[in-house]
Structure 1
């Protein structure tokens, strides 16, 4: 067993190996305070046949016992991964994938298990550190050390690895993964933080990353395994030369087609014709021709950008594709919009609901409810493909959460707008950065629905082509530029600052200086898109859709909650049934009434208020006779509150029998004469 440790932020970070999981290719246990993550790496010794990419799988799981809990539900065990687990799996995957050699095609599996949680620190960065250390110690061809930290900005001060409580009060929360001298991956959200604040957070993370890499390399030096040559070319050199010769100059003709479909059709036809020419040469010739064509297209695209300053679709390096916006397209929805940028199009729809529509989340951190959800759908027709639709995949979940984080900072407070909000972004067409189109479409749909968001939000993706010291940034990348380029840098925000940020690279890292240029390029583009959006709708509609539920929120005294609910819930059930509404009362006395009909909602509100209302001496009420006795009549002046009209107070004239003056069910006008020490109400009939 070997371990190494250092202090990061406020706690000790400890790496350990050699105690458990000894049959894995490598393992690393990462501890931070009482949070412990075990990361194990396994791989197949032979390269996968017929594929030209790295078959890497990352699975992060939170075991309930880590927080001293038993899983909920009937089965009482961990089943499908939660949204949080999927997001952390993706977070671990993204920086690792880019650092494997391009020719490495062996199947690799990384499994990270949360074994203990202090319920203060999220384990996401520890999963990255554990995976990187395990891969470095293994015999796999992974040799570039990386580490990760989270940076917050709390009360004007930057905090390394902030707690969950601190993150709630933080102006920004950003995870930065990097090498000794560059950034590899970024994921984060902010409350309209300035670009300067974001870049400062990234710079502050770098020294901490270097310190963590030091102990990773100490682990490798002492217990690391000797690296094994597992690199194998997908296409042997001689066959590659034959394919290139068979392609001839036809490869250059592909770039004459600026439109995506025409370009893809030309590439498909070129692969088909060339494969037919060489069909006797190899059983898997079509895949190998496709691989060579892909490499040639990549080289040609990069040369065009760096040498000719030209892009595949003819735009300038800083030029955004044409943008158009439409709102109010779907008459029975609560809010709708179509945002189109070039050949990327999002149909965003907002639906408003009540408290009962909130999403219940039960994880190791406890139970909570989400009143805002943004879901992203990517149907196959959006790219002209055919594939089964089996629910949202990891990519769809990740894009939805990124868009949700971008929008969340501009949403109204619950006290101002007590609705549950669900936005769905359906991608109708895709050619690059559909997640940022979702942000723009969602912002428009929320305004169309009348949700009082603070301001509009837009997003853009900036790409990169880099060869040695020469590089070029590309604003608003299309799918091919994402595929052949080196970076996908998504930035979303308002006119005042950044709300979400995500960086993925295909190279081993990027300097903060280049990132600074990219984030400024994104700001310029974001503001340009906001102008188009604001010309369509600049402020939220003043009224909600007539099809949206009607909600009122008010407070009652805690002592009165029981009266509203009634014995066994009798009173509240009657109000709900009589008015066809939903009523929710929390422990603090906050009452929420929701329904489809405004009049019914207001009637239910009046009923609840009358129940909790106290009778006032000297005030006149219209009451109903509920009981008659020999000495007077008991009249209900407020729901559940009765007072006595003594027989002598029923009329100015003498009354022999109460029944001679009033009957059960009669409505009479009474005045409160006094309320005694026991709370008994005495009434006088007014004629």
Structure 2
């Protein structure tokens, strides 16, 4: 039996332990990591050696949670884990993003990382364990990796930062971010907040850095005692001397085309320039089969060089803007006639059609995870990125990117959406990306916020989002430029994708991915302050379109009314076997629910049906009031008078002497069973019997 190697590191109030040598020994690398009662097995394997160089890293991360980890059996007919849940996809992305830049493209082999949650104490979050376990597995494996990386979650309670908070602490926290990085610096930040300041966010990131360093050191220690020799990268000797003259001829053409205004126009100009070069050097290209792909790589390198050089040296971007300038923005609301709320947000060549739909409690989304009991959410945001948004053909599907972008936008807006007790609707936003050239997720935040206000959702404050970029030069990044509102090509060719959302008063969501070794606190501080100026600029434009939520929700939305009844009267509202509450629903055409605390929630197809149901409930719980006139129904006729129901289940006697001023021989001369008449409650006797008068009600009228 193999010897188990183990290292540990103190994190927050617990100890993170990495073990290897006992489980999954046939994998390229395997680590069993546990923190308190939560544990993850992370494995990594690689494919066969490549036959040619690749220009990308064929990496896949498959984080998965087993229900047995928390002593649960999966729901559904099959009773087994099936397709990945959104949470598993989001955690997979958190693991992928800081690790991917540290793999060598020249390695060329398929790499698969599989972190599996095998134990959960439902107190400590397993996702952070999974990130660190995944890095440790790769670090000790035979796969070349310029790591390790580590991750830590930071929360904030009572103005104090908490490292690796529990689920309960996260629920109460003003801040919840995951920070990942190497020993040299931060490479990824992901999370949300309740309108915290830029200084608070910087403090949280600074708190994470020494912990990340300690976790990286523990992984390096494990590598020393259990690491494998690394496999060689794919080495391909290529003679590129033939490109010297091609590059010289292509540079001025590519440079001119790179500054053509408009995304599609710029692409067309670049294609024309490239075709001219291909025609000019057709013989050289045809001389060797690989020359065509080498030429394509050279064109990409030229664009990379031209874009970065122009920004660093001249402060000029390919669309003519300066580094802090935001593209023109237009906002429209109420663009869809029957939708409950809609907005069209356009920023440059990025456009989002955001639509808000209001539903009832039956429309809530249920989450069944290993973290705790089943939970329900009454706010959701779904992001769609159809291929036509970038002028292409393709499949309409929901991939990991769509789930990730939708989650970021939902997190950004959830901070300002009212709680269920204040606004008892289920709220769903769908962001349809109509055009895309940079940061469609931030357009979804802005458009989603406007559509919420158009739907009459009483949000606390408007939220806007902006994507920032970074261009650096030099090994120490001493020369750098921070970009506001980046284009798609600036994201692709730049060093950072940094998204910030918030209100006028603070940050609500934060996502940062770095392609370089790490960013300095100076760069991060500058980026945050520049992002704040951009965010306030966008909020000003949004406020000019719609300053506040509409006072009334759409006439097409369901009407939800709530009221409170005394707990001792809950039984009266429900009735024997639910007879009364069912009758109210049938009569009004509304759905009526009553909670154990006496809260009655009414879901009506329209305002009239909801109000009718509310009046019926009120009539049941209402106490008879002396001197008040009621519309009563004659239930029984006796020789001495008639029993009339003035409230559900409450009858009174109208004596024959109170039917008219003149003498009445028989009650039937005036009343019939089932007749509805006005009656006045004139007395409640000692035995709580109700005495009514028909004649007094008529005279009062």
Normalised-by-shorter TM-score class: over 0.9
The whole-number CA distance in structure 2 between the counterparts of 1:214 and 1:418 is 49
Query: What is the deviation of 1:228?
Result: 1.9
Counterpart secondary structure, 2:368:
strand
Q: Residues of 2 paired with 1:28 and 1:270: CA distance?
A: 51
1:567 corresponds, among 562, 576, 581, to 576
Unaligned stretches of 5+ residues in structure 2: 696-701
2:242 alignment counterpart: 242
Quick one: distance in 1 between partners of 2:124 and 2:572?
43
> Closer, same or farther in 2 for the Cα pair 1:202/1:665, shift >3 Å?
same
Find the aligned partners of 2:541 and 2:155 in 1 and give their Cα distance: 32
Q: Could you tell me which residue of structure 1 aligns to residue 252 of structure 2?
A: 252
Q: Does 1:331 align with 2:337?
A: yes
Superposition deviation, residue 262 in structure 1:
2.4
Counterpart residue number, 1:683: 691
Does residue 96 of the first structure (1) align with residue 99 of the second (2)?
Answer: yes
| Partner residue of 2:142 out of 134, 139, 142 | 139
Cα distance, 1:401 vs structure 2: 0.8
TM-score normalised according to structure 2 size: 0.92
Counterpart position of 2:699: none
Q: Secondary structure at the match of 1:46?
A: coil
CA drift of 1:142 comes to 0.6
Pairing partner for 1:604 from 599, 608, 613:
613
Give CA deviations for 1:37-85 in whole Å, capped at 9, x if unaligned.
1111011131375741001000111111111111111111111111111
Task: Name which of 367, 370, 380 aligns with 2:377.
Answer: 370
Aligned length: 681
Q: CA offsets per residue over residues 152-204 of structure 1, 9 Å max, x none?
A: 11121111111122112111111100122310100010111000000000001
Deviation at 1:528, TM superposition (A): 1.4
- Pair 1:328–1:658, CA change in 2 (3 A): closer
1:140-219 counterparts in 2 under 5 A?
A: 140-219=143-222
2:654·2:694 contact (CA, 8 Å) conserved in 1?
no
What CA distance in whole angstroms lies between the structure 2 residues aligned with 1:176 and 1:597? 47
Contact map agreement 2:247 2:298 (CA 8 A) in 1: no
- 3-state SS in 1 of match to 2:106: coil
The one of 106, 120, 125 aligned to 2:123: 120
Contact 1:271/1:286 (8 A) holds in 2 = no
2:152 and 2:383 mapped to 1: Cα distance? 28
486-495 or 586-595: bigger deviation: 586-595
Whether the 8 Å contact between 2:652 and 2:692 is mirrored in structure 1 is: no
In 1, Cα distance between equivalents of 2:232 and 2:685 = 93
Q: 1:456 deviation in Å?
A: 1.5
**Cα deviation, residue 298, structure 1:** 1.4
Which residue is equivalent to 1:47? Answer: 50
CA gap of 1:644–1:50, structure 2 versus 1, over 3 A, is farther
Q: Is the 8 A contact 2:253 2:273 kept in 1?
A: no
User: Comparing 476-485 with 286-295, which one deviates more in the overlay?
Assistant: 286-295
RMSD: 2.4
Change (3 A) 1:260 1:640: same
Distance apart, 1:286 and its partner CA: 4.1
Query: Distance between the aligned counterparts of 1:196 and 1:556, measured in 2?
Result: 47
What is the CA–CA distance in structure 1 between the aligned matches of 2:55 and 2:626, rounded to whole Å? 86
Partner of 1:462: 468
1:589 aligned residue (580, 598, 609): 598
Contact 1:651 1:685 in 2 (8 A): no
Q: Does 1:304 align with 2:307?
A: no
How far apart, CA to CA, are the structure 2 residues paired with 1:277 and 1:526? Answer: 52
CA distance, structure 1, for counterparts of residue 43 and residue 689 of structure 2: 74
Pairing 1:673–2:683 present? yes
| Residues 633/10 of structure 1: CA separation in 2 closer, same or farther (3 Å cut) | farther
CA gap 1:19/1:121 in 2 versus in 1, 3 angstroms: same
Secondary structure in 1 aligned to 2:110? Answer: strand
Which SS does the other structure have where 1:152 is aligned? strand
